[in-house]
Structures are given as structure tokens and as C-alpha cells.
Structure 1
Amino acid sequence: MPTYVIERHIPGAGALSPADLQAVSEKSCAVLRDLGPTVQWQQSYVTDNKLYCVYIAPSETLIREHARLGGFPADSIARVHRVIDPTTAEAGG
């Protein structure tokens, strides 16, 4: 199943309190339960003014539906084609 990285512009995201982040997470999980098991949230990275979220889903359409139902921005959605890490450097040798 495809993996997607979603960029969400949320001014002040880095200053959100633990309670704020919990509320956002609860909302996201509630929407995911309604959408069914084919859309899975793996994790999110919180920066100063953005969230970068990693999801597994059968289509970008379902990612957009999650954003719409949750009231979250989805400024950019990119499908992941490959994952590399430091061990990738060792593959050739």
C-alpha cells in the first residue's frame, strides 16, 4: 500500500501544548476510525509552523478526505516511492 507524506501549514505548531497536540491526535484518530482500516497514520513531525505527517493509504483521495473531515490543512501530499537511510550507502559494496 502506498505511503504518503503530508505537509500541513499550521502557524505556531511548534508552540502547541501537549494538550493541544493530544486533541489534534484524538480528532485525527476519530476520523481514521470512521474512514476504516485502509488509512493508517504512522507518525508526524512538528516543526515551528508545519506538521509533516506520514500515512499509509490506498489513494491520495482518502488522505484528502481525512483532512477535510478532520478540518486539517493538507497543503502538499507526496507519494513516497522509495525510502533510503544510511544503510543504503552500504548496498553497493
Structure 2
Amino acid sequence: MPKFLIERNIPGAGKFTPSDLKAISQKSCGVLGSMGPDIQWVHSYVTDDRIYCVYQATDEALVRRHAELGGFPADRVDRVYSVIDPATAE
């Protein structure tokens, strides 16, 4: 299944409490549960004013539909074609 990187502009995201992050995660998982197996959340990175999420989905439209149903911004959605790391240099 293709992998996507989603950039969500959320001012103050880095100041969210663990309770805030739990609520956001629960909302996301609830929406995903209603959408079926063609979309999966892998993990997210929280920075000062953005959350970057990694999803697997059959297509970008599903990623955008998840954002719409959950009330989450999806300011940028990019398909990931490759992953590199230090081992790639070997």
C-alpha cells in the first residue's frame, strides 16, 4: 500500500498536553475505524506549529477524506516513493 506524508499546520501543536494528543489520536482512530482497511495511520511527528503524519492508503483521496471527516487540516499530502537512511550509503 502506498505511503503518504501529511503536513498539518496547527499553531501551537508543540504545546499540546498529553491529554490533548490523546484526544486527537482517539478522534483519528475513530475515523479510521469507520473507513475500513484501505487507510492506516503509521505515526506522527509533533513540532512547534505542525504535525507531520505518515499514513498508508490506497490513494491520496482517502487521506484527504480522513482529514475532512476528522476535522483535521491536510495542508500538504505527498506520496512517499522511497525511504533512505544511513544504511543507504553502504
TM tier, smaller: over 0.9
1:76 aligns with 2:79: no
- Structure 2 unaligned regions, length at least 5: none
**Displacement of 1:74 after TM fit?**
0.1
Q: Deviation per CA, 1:47-85: give whole Å up to 9, x if none.
A: 000000000000000000000000000000000010000
Structure 2 distance, partners of 1:66, 1:44, is 15
Larger Rg belongs to: 1
Q: Which residue of 2 aligns with 1:55?
A: 55
The equivalences for 1:7-18 within 5 A come to 7-18=7-18
1:2 aligns with 2:30: no
**Displacement of 1:38 after TM fit?**
1.3
SS in 1 for 2:77: strand
Q: Which residue of 1 aligns with 2:34?
A: 34
SS in 1 for 2:26: helix
SS in 2 for 1:32: helix
Aligned length, in residue pairs: 90
Q: Which residue of 2 aligns with 1:20?
A: 20
Structure 2 distance, partners of 1:24, 1:86, is 32
**Displacement of 1:37 after TM fit?**
1.2
Q: What is the aligned-residue identity percentage?
A: 61
- TM-score normalised by structure 2 residue count: 0.99
- Structure 1 unaligned regions, length at least 5: none
Q: Deviation per CA, 1:22-45: give whole Å up to 9, x if none.
A: 000000000000000110000000
